[in-house]
């Protein structure tokens, strides 16, 4: 049941307050034209931010600290032991390299890409610091052919920059990049996260539900699919009580 629409001055977006199954919640539906706030990165996004992501993310990463931290995402860390030792892994929209470097340090052969040169520069520095090699590229996930259909794992951690149409293509490419029997490891925020504001885009159609992920990866074997709440400590930008979802899924073996 819809209770009210409201403006939330602190976050500068318009929301819908709802009640469902005895619980009340808040869904953000539209950022004000003055500037969509996007708390993945701390710099308030204007509408241009979504149409010019390279500039936006380069600006966000142009600070000395690692804004999403230097350690791996917890869901990736939980699943990495299940991947074939020394296997080939692609890290999608890898940002400042926390996940790719951690995987390389565990003996995986890692390729990674991101749209932001500034993020990739920091990732290369982190790899040097850890004495590991990662093949980094700078490209827009929607603009170029991906390296190959050869990966034992594709890792996509908080890649919720994609609105539904782009996301459909992104998810298809992720699936196509896997070899038969390869595993996708994905983490994102759920719509519930809009109540917490501790990271992620404040746009409900960028967020994931179990149903969305199940439909998006139909035909893959679901190894794990769970929406849950946890305390994130990922740099300054993913910090605090958060509503997340994790998916581990395998392409059919040959």
Binding residues vs ligand SAM (CB under 6 A): 40, 53, 57, 68, 73, 93-95, 98-99, 114-116, 119, 140-142, 157-159, 161
To ligand SAM, the closest distance from the beta carbon of 157 in angstroms equals 4
Q: State how far the alpha carbon of 202 is from the alpha carbons of 65, 113, 205, in Å.
A: 23, 24, 9
To ligand SAM, the closest distance from the beta carbon of 253 in angstroms equals 27
The helices-and-strands tally (H runs, E runs) of the chain is 7, 10
Nearer to ligand SAM, 108 or 161 (CB): 161
Contact 207, 201 (CB under 8 A): yes
Nearer to ligand SAM, 10 or 143 (CB): 143
Nearer to ligand SAM, 151 or 158 (CB): 158
To ligand SAM, the closest distance from the beta carbon of 234 in angstroms equals 7
To ligand SAM, the closest distance from the beta carbon of 113 in angstroms equals 6
| Closest residue by beta carbon to ligand SAM | 95
Nearer to ligand SAM, 136 or 161 (CB): 161
Query: Helix axis angle, 53-61 relative to 117-130, nearest 10°?
Result: 40
- For residues 83-115, one letter each, b for 16 or more C-beta atoms within 10 angstroms of the residue's C-beta and e for the rest, the string is beeebbbbbbbbbbbbbbbbbbebebebbbbbb
């Amino acid at each position: 049941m819809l209770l009210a629409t409201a403006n939330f001055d602190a976050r500068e977006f318009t929301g819908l307050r709802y009640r469902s199954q005895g619980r009340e919640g808040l869904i953000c539906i539209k950022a004000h034209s003055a500037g969509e706030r996007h708390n993945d990165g701390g710099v308030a996004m204007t509408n241009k931010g979504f149409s010019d992501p390279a500039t936006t993310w380069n600006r966000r990463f142009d600070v000395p600290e690692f804004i999403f931290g230097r350690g791996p995402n917890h869901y990736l860390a939980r699943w990495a032991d299940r991947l074939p030792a020394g296997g080939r892994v692609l890290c999608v929209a890898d940002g400042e390299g926390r996940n790719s470097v951690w995987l390389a340090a565990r003996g995986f052969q890692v390729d990674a890409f991101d749209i932001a040169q500034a993020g990739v520069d920091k990732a290369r520095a982190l790899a040097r610091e850890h004495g590991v090699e990662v093949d980094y590229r700078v490209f827009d996930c929607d603009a170029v052919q991906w390296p190959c259909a050869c990966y034992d794992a594709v890792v996509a951690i908080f890649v919720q920059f994609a609105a539904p149409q782009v996301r459909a293509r992104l998810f298809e490419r992720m699936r196509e990049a896997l070899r038969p029997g390869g595993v996708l490891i994905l983490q994102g925020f759920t719509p519930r996260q809009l109540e917490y504001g501790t990271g992620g885009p404040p746009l409900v159609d960028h967020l994931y539900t179990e149903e969305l992920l199940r439909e998006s990866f139909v035909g893959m074997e679901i190894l794990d699919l769970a929406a849950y709440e946890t305390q994130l400590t990922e740099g300054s930008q993913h910090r605090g009580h958060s509503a997340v979802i994790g998916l581990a899924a395998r392409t059919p073996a040959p």
